[in-house]
Chain A
Amino acid sequence: MAEPKAPGSGHDKLMIGQSAASIYVAHAILILGLVIVAFPIYYTFVASTQTLQTILRPPLPLVPGGEFWNNYAEALFGGAGRLGGVGAGTLLLNTTVMALGIAVGKIMISILSAYAIVFFRFPFRMAIFWLIFITLMLPVEVRILPTYKVMVDLGLIDTYAGLIIPLIASATATLLFRQFFMTIPGELVEAARVDGAGPWRFFFDILLPLSRTNIAALFVILFIYGWTQYLWPLLVTNRNDMTTIVIALKKMVSFADADTQWHLVMVTAILAIVPPILVVVLMQRWFVRGLVDTEK
């Protein structure tokens, strides 16, 4: 077992072959990469603060315009004409419910199935594990027709359940938890048994707290996965007030430039980006720990 780490060790050490020049080069490359990635987002933000007329008459200014409050208020509460009066607020709510539902559901189902596979001995345990593993090869797109049929039969079109449930099982997350659970020493399980912890106690008192960094990392990844879903929400929602912000974005763009309210499209695009960024920023500390630290 490793000795307790001295505070700050491992971070203030220079890396092998590091020199002043290489630090500058490394930073220059990083900044260049950052500009390439961030500029389109910034430009979208700039466009979201201009009037439609300014956007339609190039070139677009490089600094934000004065229409911020008007545009955002109109998008959030006014409702875009092409969406039958549904505001971006409803869209954000729908997308949040779906992304949260998918992330939480996936984590719950996969952690429980991994728990069963790793810590319990039951008939056909390995067969079941391989069945779960094989479903990795069947993405949503492959099973989309039967899934759609089932959703129609169950009357789940245009419901949150219909948006969430078909995407909720996750072989990847099950595998991740399985790998993590297998690193937990058998003696810890036995100590808990001797201490009088049954399967549920062990799960909630020991396994769940030990998995929290993994859960956090997975939550971030799965929330963004859910947020950016396109094909399934497109199929399973017909009503504009049940659709997600990503689908709405697509519906707002018409073939003819003049028909499209570009300033509102830009606002919606920014609104669609903000929640995933918030999740990443707020959970960054946990996210990184879950990826690099084993908490032992």
Chain B
Amino acid sequence: MATVDLKDVRKVYPGGVEAVKGVSIAIPDKELCVLVGPSGCGKSTLLRMIAGLETISSGTCAIDGKVVNAVGPTERDIAMVFQNYALYPHMKVYDNMAYGLRNRGTPKDEIDSRVRSTAKVLELSHLLDRRPRELSGGQRQRVAMGRAIVRNPKVFLFDEPLSNLDAKLRGQMRVEIKNLQRSLGVTSVYVTHDQLEAMTLADILVVMNAGLVEQMGAPLDIYEKPASTFVASFIGAPPMNLLAVTAKPDSPANTPEKLFANGASLGIAAPVHAATLGFRPEDADVIGEGTKPSGALKLSATVEAVEPVGAESFLYCAAAGGRIVVRVSGRAAAKPGDRLEVMVPAGKLHWFDSTGKRA
């Protein structure tokens, strides 16, 4: 098995566009690293550079401690699962899975036993004689996975493998990928734009934006301590509530009193450089009129829309000159137009400075 080490990797396209602007990631052996970010953030480019399908403009990519910048995709001993599966349409499932092994000169009976055992793991055994066009989307996805697994590579690379599946199947496959990856113990890099996939799959989560790493770490650490407003608004569904705050014009510079965009006072102490206040929808509570929790943030909110999901409901509200979402468990009593008091404990507040970095 193997580690993957990226050191200050850059990608500059001939036209001068810089897709990846210096990324360093170290992925330990057997861990699944998820690259997540909006489209155009460079995550797919980075994956393709690890695969060797894209040249590295500067920096190094090392697999298993060996720099592979000049090594072709075949010799890097990686396997890749593509978004549209990229199965060979004219080959049967069996041959699709066997093709990579045949090209490497694996003996015939070994190919056969490996293909059959992989097919068994993925429940594809009854489909080995079919062609890709005779399979459903989920089955094609499995074949694409099988084609990667059967090779027993050092590294798995996944390029948004679930985005062509419907929501239910996506959920199933997500669990399956995680289990497979864990049981096979193969170091993996997984690209997605879906934050739920990112959160649930990752051992190491890398949030990317505009060609740079915004934050890297364990998924829940990132969720609990987003390093920037970008990460805060990207991870979590619905995303973190962000409210702009400004210093009161005539307050002292070292301990300024902070105001919301609508001019209302925060009523609690804020860091000196705070420009944005954030809190998670589930950290806000609806409280009764008139109660004044000490040390906590209190907001008056007007409900604009209610989204009942079943086990929980989301209240979309206007508050403090911005918009917030509040999660309440079960059915919500509130209706659009209702006025609410919302309370957030001080420990659940996130502060960001004017550059968007955690204050």
A194 touches B79 (CB 8 A): yes
* Segment of B99-107, B233-241, B290-298 engaged in the interface with chain A: B99-107
Residues on the A chain within 8 Å of B91, using CB: 209
B62-87 contacts to A, CB under 8 A, are: 72-74, 78-80, 82-84, 86-87
Known: A4-B133, A201-B103, A205-B99. A194 touches B88 (CB 8 A): no
Residues on the A chain within 8 Å of B126, using CB: none
* Segment of A31-39, A185-193, A234-242 engaged in the interface with chain B: A185-193
CA distance A190 to B133 in the complex (A): 20
Instruction: Point out the residue from A193, A295, A296 that lies within 8 Å of B72, measured CB to CB.
Output: A193
Residues on the A chain within 8 Å of B164, using CB: 1
Residues on the B chain within 8 Å of A205, using CB: 88, 99
Known: A195-B100, A197-B99, A197-B103. A190 touches B90 (CB 8 A): no
Known: A185-B84, A193-B53. A296 touches B133 (CB 8 A): yes
CA distance A122 to B154 in the complex (A): 32
The interface residues of chain B, by DSSP majority, are classed as loop
Q: Mark B30-68, 1 if CB is under 8 A from A, else 0.
A: 000000000000000000000101000000000000000
A206 touches B103 (CB 8 A): no
B78 touches A194 (CB 8 A): yes
Does B89 sit within 8 A of A, measured CB to CB?
yes
Does B137 sit within 8 A of A, measured CB to CB?
yes
A194 touches B80 (CB 8 A): yes
Tell me the nearest residue of chain B to A296, going by C-beta. Answer: B89
Residues on the A chain within 8 Å of B103, using CB: 195-197, 201
B134 touches A190 (CB 8 A): no
Tell me the nearest residue of chain A to B80, going by C-beta. Answer: A194
How far, in Å, is B23 (CB) from chain A's closest CB?
21
CA distance A194 to B76 in the complex (A): 9
A187 touches B84 (CB 8 A): yes
Q: Mark A224-240, 1 if CB is under 8 A from B, else 0.
A: 00000000000000000
Centre residue among B73, B83, B86 by max chain A CB count within 10 A: B86
Residues on the A chain within 8 Å of B104, using CB: 196
Residues on the B chain within 8 Å of A209, using CB: 90-91
Residues on the B chain within 8 Å of A195, using CB: 74, 99-100, 103, 147, 151
Q: How many residues of chain A are within 8 Å of chain B by beta carbon?
A: 23
How far, in Å, is B72 (CB) from chain A's closest CB?
7
Does A167 sit within 8 A of B, measured CB to CB?
no
A190 touches B89 (CB 8 A): no
CA distance A210 to B91 in the complex (A): 10
A196 touches B84 (CB 8 A): no
Residues on the A chain within 8 Å of B83, using CB: 187
CA distance A68 to B330 in the complex (A): 93
Q: Mark A168-210, 1 if CB is under 8 A from B, else 0.
A: 0000000000000000010110111111111001000110011
Q: Mark A276-296, 1 if CB is under 8 A from B, else 0.
A: 000000000000000000011
Centre residue among B51, B80, B89 by max chain A CB count within 10 A: B89
A210 touches B99 (CB 8 A): no
Residues on the A chain within 8 Å of B134, using CB: 4
B84 touches A1 (CB 8 A): yes
How far, in Å, is B104 (CB) from chain A's closest CB?
5
Known: A190-B86, A193-B73, A194-B73. A1 touches B100 (CB 8 A): no
CA distance A209 to B96 in the complex (A): 14
Instruction: Point out the residue from A187, A193, A295 that lies within 8 Å of B90, measured CB to CB.
Output: A295
CA distance A295 to B73 in the complex (A): 28
How far, in Å, is B44 (CB) from chain A's closest CB?
11
Known: A4-B134, A210-B89. A190 touches B80 (CB 8 A): yes
CA distance A188 to B85 in the complex (A): 8
Q: Mark B133-146, 1 if CB is under 8 A from A, else 0.
A: 11111001000000
Residues on the B chain within 8 Å of A190, using CB: 51, 53, 73, 80, 82, 86
Known: A191-B80, A193-B74. A185 touches B86 (CB 8 A): yes
A1-58 contacts to B, CB under 8 A, are: 1-4
How far, in Å, is B346 (CB) from chain A's closest CB?
50
Residues on the B chain within 8 Å of A206, using CB: 88, 90
CA distance A197 to B140 in the complex (A): 21
CA distance A198 to B134 in the complex (A): 28
CA distance A210 to B82 in the complex (A): 20
B117-156 contacts to A, CB under 8 A, are: 133-137, 140, 147, 151
How far, in Å, is B181 (CB) from chain A's closest CB?
18
How far, in Å, is A137 (CB) from chain B's closest CB?
33
A1 touches B99 (CB 8 A): no
Residues on the B chain within 8 Å of A197, using CB: 99, 103
CA distance A187 to B87 in the complex (A): 9
Q: Mark B305-327, 1 if CB is under 8 A from A, else 0.
A: 00000000000000000000000
Residues on the B chain within 8 Å of A191, using CB: 80, 82, 86-88, 147
Tell me the nearest residue of chain A to B144, going by C-beta. Answer: A191
Known: A187-B84, A190-B53, A190-B82. A196 touches B89 (CB 8 A): no
Known: A1-B137, A197-B103, A201-B103. A210 touches B90 (CB 8 A): yes
CB pairs A–B below 8 angstroms (8 shown): A4-B135, A185-B86, A187-B84, A190-B82, A190-B86, A194-B100, A195-B99, A206-B90
- Residues of B at the A interface (CB closer than 8 Å) are 51, 53, 72-74, 78-80, 82-84, 86-91, 99-100, 103-104, 133-137, 140, 147, 151, 164
Given A193-B53, A209-B91, 19 other A-B residues pairs in contact with their CB atoms under 8 A: A1-B84, A1-B140, A4-B135, A187-B86, A188-B86, A190-B51, A190-B73, A191-B87, A193-B72, A194-B51, A194-B73, A194-B74, A194-B78, A194-B80, A195-B151, A196-B103, A196-B104, A197-B103, A296-B89
Closest 10 CB pairs of A and B: A196-B103, A195-B100, A187-B86, A191-B86, A196-B74, A209-B90, A187-B82, A194-B80, A193-B73, A194-B73
